[in-house]
Amino acid sequence: MKTQVKQFATPVTLVGGGALGPDDLETALALAPGLIAADGGAGAALSAGYMPDAVIGDFDSLSHDDRDRIPSERLFPIAEQESTDFDKIMRSVAAPLMLAVGFLGARVDHQLGAFNTLVRHPGQSCILVGPRELVFHAPPRLALELEPGAVVSLFPMCRLTGRSQGLEWPIDGLELAPDGRVGTSNRALGAVRIETDAPGLLVIVPRTALAAVTRALAPGAVSPAPSPARA
């Protein structure tokens, strides 16, 4: 069975089977024109009129009707049940940047699983796009242009330290940990700079900062692109 998908030279959109806002898919595709569906997320893509470039997962949520509509060479089943479909994509696809919609705003356990996957694949830049917020794994050095007053939450998924500039409450000299001090509801003074001494820090910012975050995580890789062909 096919388990590897070719590397993408341009950013890609991932669509999951969770809550999907009316403009989520179009917003992501305008910046990341490749389209990868996580299992049942293919149904959401097809319903919106888009044919996925690839569908990856254990296919327990992909309906027979949707599967029949997708060319067989675009189907990449991975039968094991030890990982989520999001994790299967992250370990099977490489791209300069991924914008993931349909992974936030539904079940809490699924969201926690998505956060876990971000941290387990620190080498792949990926932004979870939610109804009001963006979540991404901080690279070792992050330079982010934000509006003064924008909420910046830092949530550690492991014990770590770091430094910051441009935050109302700097993190210098602090140890962050999921069972200790966390950094929720901080605020940007303008341009923000964050350095971490270890991977594992999730950054949460307003959805309105999507363009700024894409530029920060994939400089030069993102530009307005023609909309993908409708299915």
Residue 144 CB partners (closer than 8 Å, separation 6+): 188, 191, 192, 193, 194, 203, 205, 209, 212, 213, 216
CATH topology match: 12-131 vs 132-222: yes
Domain ranges of the chain: 12-131, 132-222
pTM of the predicted model, to two decimals? 0.91
According to CATH, the superfamily of the domain at 12-131 is: Thiamin pyrophosphokinase, catalytic domain (3.40.50.10240)
Residue with tokens 């990926």: 126
CATH number belonging to the domain at 132-222, selected among 2.70.240.10, 3.40.50.10240, 3.40.50.880, 1.10.540.10 = 3.40.50.10240
Angstrom distance (rounded) from CA 93 to CA 15: 14
**With pLDDT > 90 as the criterion, what percentage of the chain qualifies?**
80
Contact predicate 23/84, CB 8 Å: no
pLDDT digits (tens, 9 = 90+) for 105-126: 778 888 999 999 999 999 999 9
Contact predicate 57/88, CB 8 Å: yes
Contact predicate 183/171, CB 8 Å: yes
pLDDT digits (tens, 9 = 90+) for 41-70: 999 999 999 999 999 999 988 899 999 999
